[in-house]
Amino acid sequence: MPTEGIQYKYKSTNLVDSEPNKFKERELRSEEMIINLGPQHPSTHGVLRLEVLMDGEVIKDVVPHLGYLHRCFEKHAESVPYNQIIPYVDRMDYVASMNSEHAYAMGVERMLGIADQLPKRVEYIRVLVAELNRIASHFIAIGTYGMDIGAFTPFFWVMRDREHILRLLEWTCGARLLYNYIWIGGLYYDIPVGFEERCSEFINYLKPKLSELETVLIENEIFVQRTANVGVLPLDLAINYGVTGPMLRASGLRFDLRKVDGYSVYPELEFTIPIGEGKKGTTGDCWDRTWVRMQEIHESVRIIEQCLERLQKEHKRTKEFDPQAFVPKKIRPAAQDFYVRAENPKGELGFFFRADGRSDIPFRCKARACSFSNLSVLPEISKGVLVADLIAIIGSIDVVMGEVDR
Amino acid sequence: MNNCSKKKNNMLEFSQLAEIVKGITSNILLDEKSTPKAVIVPSADIKKLCQELHQNPSTFFDMLSCVTGIDNGVETNTMEVVYNLYSVPFNHHLMIKVILHRENPEVDSVSTIWRSADWLEREVFDMYGIKFMGHPDLRRILMPADWEGYPLRKDFKHQEYYRDVKVEY
């Protein structure tokens, strides 16, 4: 038998030699058992493995095991120039790449000191595509969450509507998920001719669909029964765990970096920040988190409408407009440490840079992933719940493992 | 968050924050080139300092956004841990840096103050081998438990085989 070229040798221990459990079997009490959930399980939203310590059907502790989608973002980032990191940034939160790109590009521009020079049209296009992507990301969150809970139809509805967004974005930059569209100092291309009209058409189409989705899923009695009063996350705990984004807002804090930091052109746009009010149960439960996401879609729609209006009036397409006009030929920030943060669909995405001032490659580029911190609260809020509720809680956190593991 | 004007009045400038830090630990360095502006403090005082910054009603840093490890390389022979603190009610930021020896990097864990530090510190430990003393559960988080070495160190050489699978592809 040729051994040349065979990478994987079968050993009977391979199966049990997976990531070791935190709890030891021999230390369990008589009624307790360890159940392994994932990593290949549809309800864990990717490759999340949970080691669940249970007493009967009641969960006593949950230990998340991460790293199944670890792709060494930070190691790669130490070996390529700033502009070439953008594709890697895309692949972190792969359902909201535009938002991640926006945060990253903004950070590097601020380090270079060119953040204020960018044309308004560039900023509005950035916000436009980022908000479109935010809707797509929330669609995934709500749709797959419905599927976790047992509602199959809404998933197809949101995937249908998300498809329109993906096609719009594909038309803009040629890619459906991983765009590399927002560049440091500008954009890859201007938005295509006719995009504004098609996008407004889509928005008009989307609005009734949103209320339809709300009626069928969010207000649905079965859905409410499954999610209200489940996985309640108190506000102080949320802040202490560094939870951000819709999860933090569902716990009752009106905190959105688009308002707090007011980056890009968000201060010029009109939108409100929805917070969880405990309408169906307790503030900060799974239903609130989903409801907040739903309301955020409405707000994103409002932002998109305003962006489209301004892109057609004040910041119209002109022949002279070059989206790459301010893209620096050489990206070499002065030696400094820089932390930048922005509001992603899932929370605060932060980048920590250390530039040494001598090279085009960052000395250190760390991503503070929102899903990572949001997921860390899972053991805390799932103690004492039933297994079915654990699935409901995981879905409501809306993790993207690509971002947790980077 | 309803009264934004009040929030701004209570917001401390970096110089005021630095004064408060100086009151807790002497021997600090200011790094105003960083964004947000940073203080470099002795590693022995980090826990005391964070405790105070978290509890002090005028600073009230209730969120630990980010913990970053940095390896300065073999020549410098130092490692750093960078903490990004944020106060939700006051909207002020502070970056705290500690510099550690590269041979035996150890620093007190702040996970009893902010629970978010739990995973963030585990990640730093996983990537740099920096030991956080008093951490409740210091295991590897992203890399497999039987991985050799700390991958983000500047002198890291990966193993040739991992469980009979060639690492270099």
Nearest CA in chain B to A370: B65
Q: Partners of A347 in the beta sheet? A: A344
| pLDDT for the residue A316 | 85
Cβ contact B82:A352 at 8 Å: yes
CA distance A75 to A53: 34
**Cβ–Cβ gap B68/A22 under 8 Å:** no
Q: What is the DSSP string of A17-56?
A: TSSPPSS-GGG--TTEEEEEE-SS-GGGSSS-EEEEEEET
- Chain A, 377-396: which have a CB under 8 Å from a chain B CB? 377, 380
**Cβ–Cβ gap A20/B145 under 8 Å:** yes
Tokens, residue B19: 């004064």
Task: Give the residue from A310, A399, A353 showing the smallest Cα distance to A127.
Answer: A310
Measure the CA angle with vertex B89, ends A114 and B123; round to 5°. 70
Listing from the earlier edge strand, what are the strands of the sheet with B93-101?
Answer: B29-31, B38-41, B93-101, B78-86, B63-71
**Cβ–Cβ gap A366/B68 under 8 Å:** yes
Listing from the earlier edge strand, what are the strands of the sheet with A32-37?
Answer: A32-37, A49-55, A58-65
ipTM surpasses 0.95: no
| pLDDT for the residue B82 | 92
Cβ contact B63:A242 at 8 Å: yes
Tokens, residue B110: 């702040």
Burial of residue A81, with CB atoms counted within 10 A of its CB: 0-12 exposed, 13-18 middle, 19 or more buried: middle
Q: What is the DSSP string of A200-239?
A: HHHHHHHHHHHHHHIIIIIT-HHHHHHHTTSS---HHHHH
**Cβ–Cβ gap B35/A348 under 8 Å:** no
| pLDDT for the residue B55 | 87
With a cut of 60, say whether residue B3 has pLDDT above it.
Answer: no
Nearest CA in chain A to B33: A336
CA distance A33 to A26: 10
CA distance B115 to A237: 9
CB contacts of A341 in chain B (<8 Å) are: 65
What is the per-residue pLDDT across B23-63, written as a single tens digit (0 to 9) for each? 888 788 888 888 888 888 888 888 888 888 888 888 888 89
Tokens, residue A231: 């996985």
Look up residue A179 and give its amino acid.
Y
CB proximity B55 to A under 8 Å: no
**Cβ–Cβ gap B115/A368 under 8 Å:** no
Report the percent of chain B where pLDDT is more than 90: 18
CA distance A273 to A299: 8
**Cβ–Cβ gap A255/B1 under 8 Å:** yes
Q: B159 phi and psi, to 5 degrees?
A: -70, 155
Average predicted confidence (pLDDT) for chain B = 84
CA distance A390 to A397: 11
**Cβ–Cβ gap B163/A14 under 8 Å:** yes
Would you tell me how many other CB atoms lie within 10 Å of the CB of residue A118? 21
Which of A8, A73, A239 best probes binding to B when mutated, by most B CB atoms within 10 angstroms? A239
CB contacts of A14 in chain B (<8 Å) are: 163
| pLDDT for the residue A5 | 63
- Strand runs labelled E in A308-404: 336-344, 347-355, 364-368
Cα–Cα separations (whole angstroms), residue A315 to A124, A147, B34: 8, 41, 34
With a cut of 90, say whether residue B75 has pLDDT above it.
Answer: no
Q: A323 phi and psi, to 5 degrees?
A: -65, -15
**Cβ–Cβ gap B33/A337 under 8 Å:** yes
Q: Are strands B106-108 and B131-133 parallel, antiparallel or unpaired?
A: parallel
CA distance A94 to A106: 19
CA distance A143 to A149: 10
CB proximity A9 to B under 8 Å: yes
CA distance B149 to A306: 51
Alpha helices, H only, A192-331: 195-213, 221-227, 235-240, 246-250, 257-260, 286-312
Q: Partners of A55 in the beta sheet? A: A32, A58
- Chain A, 253-272: which have a CB under 8 Å from a chain B CB? 253-255, 260
The helix or strand, by DSSP H or E, that contains position B49, with its residue range, turns out to be: helix B46-55
Q: What mean pLDDT is predicted for residues B85-93?
A: 88
**Cβ–Cβ gap B142/A70 under 8 Å:** yes
Taken in order B116, B118, B119, B122, the sign of the CA dihedral is positive
pLDDT confidence bin for B156, thresholds 50/70/90: confident
Cβ contact A276:A251 at 8 Å: yes
Exposed e or buried b per residue across A298-324, where buried means at least 16 C-beta atoms within 10 angstroms of its C-beta: bbbbbbbbbbbebbeeebeeeeeeebe
| pLDDT for the residue A8 | 63
Which tops the pLDDT comparison, A10 or B5? A10
- Chain A, 58-77: which have a CB under 8 Å from a chain B CB? 66-67, 70, 72, 74-75
**Cβ–Cβ gap B164/A7 under 8 Å:** yes
* pLDDT tens digit at each of 406 positions of chain A: 455 666 666 766 665 566 777 887 788 887 888 888 878 777 777 788 888 998 888 999 999 988 888 888 988 898 899 989 999 999 988 899 999 999 999 999 998 888 888 888 899 999 999 999 999 999 999 999 988 888 888 999 999 999 999 999 999 988 888 998 999 988 888 889 989 999 999 999 999 999 999 998 888 898 998 898 888 999 989 999 989 999 999 998 889 998 888 888 899 899 999 998 888 888 889 999 999 999 999 999 999 999 999 988 888 888 888 888 888 888 888 888 999 999 999 999 999 999 988 888 999 999 999 999 999 999 989 988 998 889 889 889 888 888 898 8
Q: What is the DSSP string of B116-162?
A: THHHHHHHHHHHH--EEET-TT---SSS-TT--S-TTSTT----SEE
Residue B114 C-alpha, separation from nearest chain A C-alpha, in angstroms: 5
| pLDDT for the residue A294 | 92
Cβ contact A311:A328 at 8 Å: no
CB proximity B30 to A under 8 Å: no
* H helices, E strands: number in chain B: 5, 9
CB nearest B152 (choices: A74, A242, A340): A74
Residue A131 C-alpha, separation from nearest chain B C-alpha, in angstroms: 24
Cβ contact A345:A137 at 8 Å: yes
Tokens, residue A388: 């079915």
Nearest CA in chain B to A78: B152
Residue with tokens 């997921």: A375
CA distance B150 to B102: 12
Q: Partners of B133 in the beta sheet? A: B108
**Cβ–Cβ gap B151/A72 under 8 Å:** yes
